[in-house]
Structure 1
Amino acid sequence: MTVNQRTVIHCDMNAFFASVEQSARPELRGKPIAVVGSGGRPVITTSSYEARARGVKTGMAVWEGRRLCPELIIVIGDNKKYQHTSTEINRIFQDFTPEVEAFSIDESWLDITHSLKMFGSAETIAYQIKARIKHQFDITCSIGIAPNKLLAKLASDLQKPDGLTIIKPDDVSRILEHMPASELCGIGKKTAATLRLMNINTCGELGRCDEARLTRKFGIIGRRLMLMGQGIDDSPVTPFGEEDEVKSVGHSSTLERDIDDPLEIRRFLLQLSEMVGSRARRYNVAGKTISLYVRYADFFSSWGKQTTIKRHTNQSDEIYRTAVGILETVDLEQPVRLLGISLSNLQHEVEQLPLFIEDRKKLEATKAMDEVNQKYGNMVVTLGSLLPGKEKRGNHVIPPSWRPDGIKNVKCT
């Protein structure tokens, strides 16, 4: 079966956080609400469609939202509620196909190619998904159906809220011919601006552009951009836990909103370092190579760098400081959507009594923190000296636990 014979669904929950709040609290239904981060920062994470109709948008300051909509209701976000809902929604998806890839907490791809004979048609599957989500959670989603992930996501964006759009293989060229290139997932503001300077505005123009010209300007992604303009995308729908295996202990987390504040990014890195260090200690492994992975807001743009230190470690503070050191060598080009830290070059059965008294005290303190955090949850206790800025608490990370298949297993050398 060729890639073009695939049938892929992209499901995008509509105003997810706000919709979950309105479903859970009947008094908020039909009213303009804005969800803000659990740390109380005055930035709107998402807004209901009633608020959007008044101009209230994601990333807007609360004061600005209230200026546009004086009756705007501010709701403090509840990450656990959103994670639970997302988990259950992904379980619904798995009733139709095992090939489900969670793109973010409110978006997933489903490869339903092998499910069509069982359910009849892609459209039937889509309507059943929409009905079950509406019945179980009283929220809506927009669904796109297409031959690949790129086009399925494009399709889901075309009719919101509660839409269903199908892009058939024979219609791809016609639909893309006059579609702005910036509408494609993976072409962010910076790339779109560069393309406009090259007199490339539409997908049709991008798909016909000389590959060498794009490569000279964009490097190795030039060919990918040309193929995107043609609607070609051969990337598979990869269920969580079935990615290429790596011999490492790692955590990656999708943030509840795109961020570019260096202090906020460091807070998230601290949480991830705690998660990686805790699991490494639980499995009694330590590593010498710390890797940092960053995915930008446009999804396709990302980078990863690593550093190898002198000795094996599974201590969260060392992992954190190394990750921050890597971050400081890079100028971030866009707001960040996902962060990941991994520990590799692993060594087994590393636990031994440290030689120096201070190191022994540190080890005992670490064990005590692990016991508390395993019982009550990650980051209940952490090293206060590591927390950047004045804020000492505030978990804004949507952790990997919400994904349908749980967290990635440890792979050791």
Structure 2
Amino acid sequence: MNSTIMHVDQNAFFASVEQAANPALQGKPIAVVGGSGRTVITTSSYEARAKGVKTGMAVWEAKRACPELLIVVGDNKKYQYISTEINRIFRDYTPEVEAFSIDESWLDVTRSLSIFGSAADIARKIKSRIRHEFNITCSIGIAPNKLLAKLASDMEKPDGLTILRPEDVPRVLENMPVQELCGIGKKMQQHLNMMNIYTCGELGRFDEARLTGKFGIVGKRLKEMGQGVDNSPVVPYGEEDDVKSVSHSRTLDQDISDPGEIRRFLLQLSEMVGSRARRYGVTGRTIHLYVRYADFFSSWGKQTTLLSYVNRTDEIYKTAVSILETVELEQPVRLLGIGLSSLRHQSEQLPLFEEERKKTEALKAMDEVNARFGVMSVTFGTLVPGKEKAGSRVIPPSWRPDGISKIDVH
């Protein structure tokens, strides 16, 4: 049986939510930023995009392109709530829903067609409910697989509905730039262009041996993508492969170089990673530290593997600091990230030594309070009130509405 896959993309999601919540913003060019002190555009409304405002643009640059631009500080809890509710709407039509990011999901509606009618009928029902319940629009692509469904959803924005039938695929892909395919970023595009591959049609016809010689096993996948072939299933929550790592990163409101300030943010990130690992009963041996500098382009990442498995905040933090001390920072820091990998599921038992038991019990109590009253309701003394939210409140691409991949936002 041929699959029928739907990709739903909420249009200018953060900006649309802000306009729906505040009638004074409707129909006006607005841009959402991650924090009051950060100067980069997270997303912008279609009214602002028409004036040349783009994601990642500096606020001063955006204001120059659109002097009447209104700047709005993002409200991540609001976005998280609406995204979760929208995914619940999807599950009214199929249990096979895979959240790709906070504003994108895939739905496999193959088995739902006999109940709800055609895929287009389901898409129109979904669009109507999202508009009615949240006053925002979405674009939906319908195709035989996930790759083509996402491509189709990008073809008509905002508020689009595009159906890409199997017989249409060769014609559509023939002159489609390769970077339009999900999974081909700027670096891969550059490599392909250097091989005189500019369109999906050219990629689909290219010699597979040369592609695998250049990119290894990925070369075969690239050729398939150029042909519109994608056999990856829609993976609902709870059926994913075991998580390989737990990580969290934060863009800072202000570029910092003070070692004490950097360590304070590392403690905050260590607690975010540690609390998620503890919540899902995993420990890890490898600690990763990632730093991006103020110029945005320069960055580095280092890791160290411990002799034992850990998930306590203090152990993650101590290791991250030790990694940081091996590097001389070249510039002020713009972004920090910490990850825990080489994971295993732990058994529920207390440490042998009393001092270690006290630390474990204290963290357990703190986790229980934060689970009930909200993230960072109870935290470490060095993360004093007013300081713990100093990072830019940008939702990472790894955000998911459920499970260990869910990122708590505030």
User: By the TM > 0.5 criterion, same fold?
Assistant: yes
Measured against the shorter chain, the TM-score band is: 0.7 to 0.9
State whether structure 2 residue 138 is matched by structure 1 residue 141: yes
Correspondence 1:26-45 to 2 at 5 A: 26-38=23-35, 40-45=37-42
1:311 Cα shift? Answer: 2.5
State whether structure 2 residue 351 is matched by structure 1 residue 352: yes
State whether structure 2 residue 345 is matched by structure 1 residue 373: no
CA distances 1:190-222 after superposition (whole Å, capped 9, x unpaired)? 111111111111101001111111111112211
Q: What is aligned with 1:287?
A: 283
Correspondence 1:309-328 to 2 at 5 A: 309-320=306-317, 322=319
Aligned residue for 1:158, secondary structure, equals coil
Q: What is aligned with 1:85?
A: 82
**1:313–1:402 CA distance, 2 compared to 1 (3 A):** closer
CA distances 1:211-266 after superposition (whole Å, capped 9, x unpaired)? 111111112211111110000011110012211246x8x6467x899xxx999999
- Between Structure 1 and Structure 2, how many residues are aligned? 381
Q: Is the 8 A contact 1:38 1:78 kept in 2?
A: no
Q: What is aligned with 2:295?
A: none
The percent of aligned pairs where both chains have the same amino acid is 67
Q: Is the 8 A contact 2:101 2:399 kept in 1?
A: no
For residue 170 of structure 2, the aligned residue among 173, 185, 192 is 173
1:379 Cα shift? Answer: 2.9
1:277 Cα shift? Answer: 2.5
CA distances 1:324-348 after superposition (whole Å, capped 9, x unpaired)? 888999xxxxx99x98645623442
**1:313–1:80 CA distance, 2 compared to 1 (3 A):** same
**1:293–1:128 CA distance, 2 compared to 1 (3 A):** farther
Q: What is aligned with 1:61?
A: 58
State whether structure 2 residue 67 is matched by structure 1 residue 70: yes
CA distances 1:26-82 after superposition (whole Å, capped 9, x unpaired)? 111001111110363111111111111111111111111111111111111000000
Q: Distance in 1 between matches of 2:276 and 2:206?
A: 48
For residue 394 of structure 1, the aligned residue among 373, 391, 406 is 391
Q: TM-score, normalised by structure 1?
A: 0.79
Q: Distance in 2 between matches of 1:33 and 1:256?
A: 23
Q: Distance in 1 between matches of 2:149 and 2:170?
A: 14
Q: Distance in 1 between matches of 2:361 and 2:279?
A: 14
Q: Distance in 1 between matches of 2:344 and 2:78?
A: 36
Q: What is aligned with 1:46?
A: 43
Q: What is aligned with 2:21?
A: 24
CA distances 1:79-137 after superposition (whole Å, capped 9, x unpaired)? 00000110111111111111011100000000111111111111111111111111111
Q: Is the 8 A contact 2:287 2:338 kept in 1?
A: no
Q: Distance in 1 between matches of 2:12 and 2:250?
A: 12
Q: Distance in 2 between matches of 1:95 and 1:353?
A: 48
For residue 237 of structure 1, the aligned residue among 234, 238, 246 is 234
Q: Is the 8 A contact 2:268 2:383 kept in 1?
A: no
State whether structure 2 residue 149 is matched by structure 1 residue 152: yes
Structure 1 residues not aligned, in runs of 5+? 295-303, 330-334
Q: What is aligned with 1:6?
A: 3
